[in-house]
Amino acid sequence: MSDVRIDDLPVRDELRGKSPYGAPQLDVPVRLNTNENPYPLPEPLVERIAERVRDAARNLNRYPDRDAVELRTRLAEYLTDTSGHEVGLANVWAANGSNEVIQQLLQTFGGPGRTAIGFEPSYSMHGLISRGTGTGWISGPRNEDFTIDVAAAEKAIAEHRPDVVFVTTPNNPTGNAVPPQTVLALYEAAQAAKPSMVVVDEAYIEFSHGDSLLPLLDGRPNLVVSRTMSKAFGAAGLRLGYLAAHPAVVDAVQLVRLPYHLSAVTQATALAALEHTETLLGYVEQLKAERDRLVRELRATGYEVVESDANFVQFGRFEDSHTAWQKILDQGVLVRDNGIPGWLRVSAGTPEENDAFLDAVRALKKEQS
Ligand code: PMP
């Protein structure tokens, strides 16, 4: 039995020889590799979650609210309050993490015989979920400084006529935000070419110096903004992602969602977290200050740093980034090697974790000079 491997099974051709997504989950003192929020949820929120989940448990013999109406209403209020752009229940859809939101979008608008494009390096799951849904993946270009080359991107869209266009802002792993004019230009190019859906992945937007692109949704039914509670809300373990778009998009994704996909426990937990938005956004302010400190200190130590609007920083350059990653790990600090030659990525942690990281990279710099 044990000598049967994946490729011995009749798996789909496009999955042959591929590896699953996975950042190493190593047991080291300082883990700054997956852009998590380092602050555990505050105790009053933990209590509130327990209370709400206890209530939900009394009804677990029943299926949950299939349309997650209360949760979507609260998410819409959160988006309206933080962006100043009016978002309603009909504009919002929620799923188990924004990865599932992206999967549902690709099941709806991509699929066999269709294609999606992203401008890489960017969030690798866009390509992987495309593959998983039978959508052809096109790797679009980026400039040397990791900004999007608008002319080259427009050209790629005109040439490939993709069905789905991904724009990640702030971008992961590089950290830089995409200017609204760029998103608008890509949207116009995508409409002229096909028309296609443009998905703006705003997983890290709460950490940005700039504003959300939610106001661009007005009059653009083929635009989607995707969000998550994994980062700013410090709730990666909850698995709650959501999108804002024209109500027709919300109707369309319901054609592919599994019935009752969002458990009653998930809905109850997310609702409790949304009651504590103000406290959680307070942590975001601390993380932004720490992110800015990381940028300053890395530069002062002689590293090159990409301007960051996220809760992580891409820094370099290394002759061999994997060796540098290992040396930082040897000092008890886990950062991320995304396979971008010369660069590594560090997530902003607590001040103490960031101090440990900065000590490690200062030591590395000394060793190399
Ligand atoms: N989009 C981006 C850009 C991300 O970096 C991540 C998580 N690393 C996600 C989406 C997925 O987040 P989740 O499924 O936890 O909501």
> 187 and 251 share a domain?
yes
Q: Which helix (H) or strand (E) holds 138?
A: strand 136-140
> 31 and 64 share a domain?
no
pLDDT tens per residue, range 229-277:
999 999 999 999 999 999 999 999 999 999 999 999 999 999 999 999 9
Confidence of residue 369 (pLDDT cuts 50, 70, 90): confident
Residue at 126: amino acid letter: H
Of the candidates 275, 309, 340, which is a domain's last residue? 275
> 96 and 192 share a domain?
yes
The predicted pLDDT at position 90 comes to 98
Confidence of residue 307 (pLDDT cuts 50, 70, 90): very high
Nearest CA to ligand 1 atom 7: 203
Tokens of 210: 């700039």
- Cis preceding linkage at 121, omega within 30: yes
The answer, yes or no, to whether any atom of ligand 1 lies below 6 A from the CB of 123, is yes
Question: Which range has the worst mean pLDDT, 17-21, 53-57, 166-170, 174-178?
Answer: 17-21
Task: Flag whether 6 is in a domain.
Answer: no
> 143 and 237 share a domain?
yes
Task: Flag whether 19 is in a domain.
Answer: no
Task: Flag whether 1 is in a domain.
Answer: no
Domain coverage including residue 251: 43-275
Of the candidates 237, 256, 275, which is a domain's last residue? 275
The predicted pLDDT at position 14 comes to 81
Question: Which range has the worst mean pLDDT, 14-28, 167-181, 279-293?
Answer: 14-28
Q: What is the CATH number of the domain that holds 345?
A: 3.90.1150.10
pLDDT surpasses 80 at 23: no
Task: Flag whether 7 is in a domain.
Answer: no
Confidence of residue 25 (pLDDT cuts 50, 70, 90): confident
> 265 and 288 share a domain?
no
Confidence of residue 15 (pLDDT cuts 50, 70, 90): confident
Q: What is the CATH number of the domain that holds 179?
A: 3.40.640.10
The answer, yes or no, to whether any atom of ligand 1 lies below 6 A from the CB of 228, is yes
> 288 and 238 share a domain?
no
> 111 and 161 share a domain?
yes
End-to-end, the C-alpha distance of the chain in Å comes to 52
pLDDT tens per residue, range 313-326:
999 999 999 999 99
Q: Are 64 and 263 spatial neighbours (Cβ–Cβ below 8 Å)?
A: yes
From the CA of 109, how far away is ligand 1's center (Å)?
Answer: 19
Nearest CA to ligand 1 atom 6: 203
Task: Flag whether 17 is in a domain.
Answer: no
Residue at 21: amino acid letter: Y
pLDDT tens per residue, range 126-183:
999 999 999 999 999 899 999 999 999 999 999 999 999 999 999 999 999 999 999 9
The predicted pLDDT at position 230 comes to 96
Domains: count for the chain: 2
> 37 and 48 share a domain?
no
> 215 and 306 share a domain?
no
Task: Flag whether 4 is in a domain.
Answer: no
Angle at 75 between CA 283 and CA 276, to 5 degrees: 35
Helix, strand, coil share of the chain (percent; to 5)? 45, 15, 40
Please count the other Cβ atoms lying within 10 Å of the Cβ belonging to residue 115.
17
From the CA of 252, how far away is ligand 1's center (Å)?
Answer: 22
Average pLDDT, the chain: 96
Task: Flag whether 253 is in a domain.
Answer: yes
Please count the other Cβ atoms lying within 10 Å of the Cβ belonging to residue 173.
24
How many CA atoms lie less than 13 Å away from 153 in the CB half-sphere?
A: 25
The predicted pLDDT at position 1 comes to 55
> What residues have CB less than 8 Å from 26, skipping those under 6 apart?
329, 334
The predicted pLDDT at position 20 comes to 80
Region 87-93 average pLDDT:
98
Task: Flag whether 37 is in a domain.
Answer: yes
The predicted pLDDT at position 111 comes to 97
Complex ipTM > 0.95:
yes
Mutate to test the pocket of ligand 1, among 104, 125, 347 (most ligand atoms within 8 A of CB): 125
Distance in angstroms (rounded) separating the CA atoms of residues 318 and 322: 9
> 137 and 191 share a domain?
yes
The answer, yes or no, to whether any atom of ligand 1 lies below 6 A from the CB of 35, is yes
The predicted pLDDT at position 359 comes to 97
What percent of the chain lies above the pLDDT cut of 90?
92
> 179 and 218 share a domain?
yes
Of the candidates 243, 275, 307, which is a domain's last residue? 275
Phi-psi region of 53 (alpha: psi -120 to 50; beta: other; left: phi over 0): alpha
Neighbour order of strands in the sheet with 304-305: 304-305, 312-316, 343-347
Question: Which range has the worst mean pLDDT, 3-7, 133-137, 190-194, 360-364?
Answer: 3-7
> 137 and 69 share a domain?
yes
Mutate to test the pocket of ligand 1, among 93, 119, 123 (most ligand atoms within 8 A of CB): 123
Region 98-109 average pLDDT:
98
Distance in angstroms (rounded) separating the CA atoms of residues 14 and 308: 35
